[in-house]
Structure 1
Amino acid sequence: MAKLRVVAGAQLDAANGDLRSQVHFCAETGQIWLHEHRMLLIHAQAQALLRKELIDTLGMDRAQGLLTRMGYESGVRDAELARVRAESMGDLDAFMTGPQLHTLEGIVKVTQIRLELDRTAGRFYGEFLWENSWEGQWHRHFFGIHTEPVCWTQIGYACGYTSAFMGRPILYKEVECAGMGDDHCRIIGKPLEEWDDASDYAHCVNRESIAEQLIYLQTQVVQLKTSMGENEGLPADMVGNSPAFRAAYELLRQAAGSQITVLLLGETGVGKEVFARTLHERGTRSKASFVAINCAAIPADLVESELFGVEKGAYTGALVSRAGRFERANGGTLFLDEIGDLPLAAQAKLLRVLQEGEVERLGDQTVRKVNVRLLVATNVDLRLLVKEGKFRSDLYYRLNAYQINIPPLRERKEDISPLSKRFLEKYCAIHGKRLKGFTDKAKRALLTYAWPGNIRELQNMVERGVILAPGGTRIEVHHMFSGFDERQALELGLDVHGDIHAPLTQSSKALCDAVLNGMMTLDQVEAMLLEMAVDKSHGNLSSAARMLGVTRPQLAYRLRRLQEVSPGLHDSAAPSPALPTP
């Protein structure tokens, strides 16, 4: 028997050691991580004082319910780690992750008395001994010996953990409790329906949380304010509350009811078409057609026929007469995206349409009147194109009647979380999957990443996470950023295994020191980066721009500026300092 106890103790130590390896303390960031969940190390007495204040404020019954639910959610979180471990070990060993974590977290020492479970059949019976319960001891300290069990947070944890692990409601009862004067605590757990008084405890495992009730009440308040005219909410497709986004949306709101031509400016993926559709839907033409066309996606020799229409036989291949986009949008709104890529010949005809309000199809002399509100968008500087002779100045001044600058996602960090949540809900519905959200580390990665592709990239990344994350879990870092190479991972602040690095590596610090000590100038650093990106992409400027997180025109401008400021800069630049290997 003694030998058996030694073996069991060794196995327990090994299991605890494995769990301890999942705990990471980061002194530089001041964070503690358990797997991908951020943890806190707090004083037991402070927690006990907060618990006492809750009881004094809410009363014993309401405080019990709140603390039980808090423990329940904590148990559900820890069960995620146990389910991951169950893929590489037996169910019994994986289940003991929870009791071991309860011990490791300093809540209570847990000893297994009896444990029987079959996840496939849904059978469960568990009996455990609790020693040194912080909750029982502190409750007794403040309130004296109680007539009923008082380890509410701990019992909630056990219920939440086991229910999540088993995939069905499991209820524990505390049959002995230190808060009642017993030497230790003892709990028994089994499926909810196997308890005679199950209905009295249904609230303990009911997944309808206080948060969901608050969200429901909040929805009612918003609807009430809307009906009273006190609050104008955002359209369903627009999410954001950052100052930069709100400023752009306010410009949109003021222009929506007019017929003025609007020029939407912003990087690729910021949501220019969403803004254009919202302008249409909130305007007086909302019941008419909204027609969109991407000028960059149409071959130059077909742009005019797409915009203005074509008559049969106008050119080889024109087998039937066809109305153009202006005619199709008559009475409604026409949105021309990437207007900077419109050929000069088409620009001249577009200007005439805007001035005269009429179009002529290719190969036809019939004039057709059109009444269209025009919205245009671009991710390039039209003024620069005008100077270069690539865009007509008269057309530019005609289109630039009302500008709306849509900020990039990196300038509206506050909106990343609500956008991620909206996309998560959308793609869970599309792919028929239920997920609990994002891990703490995944949330941090979403906020850390620069998002060169803006909202479109965020949307695609969340969809990838929804597809790769197992049902019933949370999206982890590697589910979204699994396709990143080592360079991209370092830019994000991740290593190849998905761990968060310190803000600056040794190489980064050495480069900073080289600039600050006068060994290199900022122009030389920029030139070195640009040259390396162009070389790595074998001269493909679009690919190099993606590496640097800028647009192709922005990269071309930087290259031209550096060449004008310091011709042959890369030839005369000081050699790169020797950077230590991280």
Structure 2
Amino acid sequence: MKIDYPSDADLRAMIRFDSESGCIWLGQQRMILTHATAFGSMRSELIDSFGEEYARGVLMRMGYNAAQYDAQLAHSTRPDSMMDAFLVGPQLHSIEGIVGVEPLSVEIDPDTHHFYGEFSWSNSFEAAEHLRLYGVSDKPCCWNLLGYATGYTSAFMGKPIYFKEVECVAKGDSRCRIIGKPAEEWDEVEEFEKILSLQSMACKVNSLEEEVKFLRHEIIAAGDPDKIIAESVSIREVMFLLEKAAKTNVTVLMLGETGVGKEVFSQALHQMGELAPGPFIAVNCAALPQELIEAELFGVEKGGFSGAHQSRPGRFERADGGTLFLDELGELTEPAQAKLLRAIQTGEFERVGGSKKIKVDVRLIAATNADLAQRVKQGTFRADLYYRLNVFPISIPPLRDRLTDIPGLVKKFITVYNAKYAKQVLGITDETLNRFLAYEWPGNIRELENIIERGVILTDDNHRIESQHVCIGMPNELDCKMSLNAAGNLSKGQPPSQTNLLDSMETGKLSLEQLEAEVLQQAYSRTNQCVAETARLTGLSAPQCRYRLKKFGLLS
């Protein structure tokens, strides 16, 4: 049945333009005239900044709130007819130039609070703006209009009435069409309530803030020199080099395989030096588009290239007074390499498209897993930059060469992920540790950390991580035992014969003290740093064990 609108003369009579005061009034409510394209730009900013889901929620709540006064106005303007009063909302939407509304079906029963409504929309400004800025969508896009319909009808009926857009011009339909009915009649009621919740955006922001705080804490903690696990000789040597470099402002080149922790050691160097109060800015050169590397590192002046609508500083400027960490340095373009060399030598550079020299006080730490010397020979990396960077190289050993650090690293990562996931995992089983020690660790520390995170998630509180959860694809301890080789280091295979061990000691390759230190270190690690258990395992008294652990620097 076709529904005819009553005359809208009563509504148009309520609209007053007061040019002297700069006000537009609808009854007692102030209104504004604004450009549809301006609304479209704001809508686009919301989508690009927060994503469609949250932009949809904000715009729906905006429309929902705008409708509250109109619902009050409807009852007071047309008190004699429930239907005529309800049609105030659709008529106002048309008068305000937002959308043309054609009622297709409306059922209202004030006694039972029954409502059903179906409306066709024409000339939706919101659909038009979405098409202008984004093209055809795969979902309905009249979010603000839908929020108004929901808010108006809910306030008018005194109960939640939700509308759903089932056709939309923005997704290629010939018209926009909406259907509204009580909340309890929708299967998607929880989705509607979430979208219209005033706390949904606030909760998202708060959640992100908490995550950022957690990540910042983890970054700082990861780079704390005192918290770096350095049980192995190789990492102690690295820490010695870091201490020496920290006393100067020398450029440092971190070398090592992917996942060995080059950024962690770079953060430690930053915190050990005089520039520790300043920022630590990390850049992954491989993640930057080739054409944008220079702009990201050195900044860009307005008009410096197509799309540069405003000037902005680069990473060098942001790192002023602190440390700039350039990871995957071997991926830099030739022009970027030339600029970087000049910046290292003079402390000055120019933004892309600019001529003004900018001077900064920055410690540069570069990192790569590439063979830069080979790239110099191939002509893909500047020789003068390589020699300038190679003044103070520090090679971070792979995890397979620092197996004695694994127990400490495991303990550290379990602590981190217990806190993150509110768990109380106690550690790992002996079998898990043995299989860790027999594994090659191609992904190095990053792989170990990911495996421990998985183990913490899968393990119940007050239990230890078992091998079946984290040792997928790793050698079984029965297939690959670890033992002390003739040099006194851990290696795979059978232990050397006593004759070979004595020969090594006789030739000076292995001292008795070195052998004693290695045995104590392994026992101390296997017992999770328990002095009493280490004493029992080695056949020493507790005081003797404690004395020897202190002697070899294993116990502070």
TM-score (norm. length: structure 1): 0.43
**TM-score, normalised with respect to structure 2:** 0.45
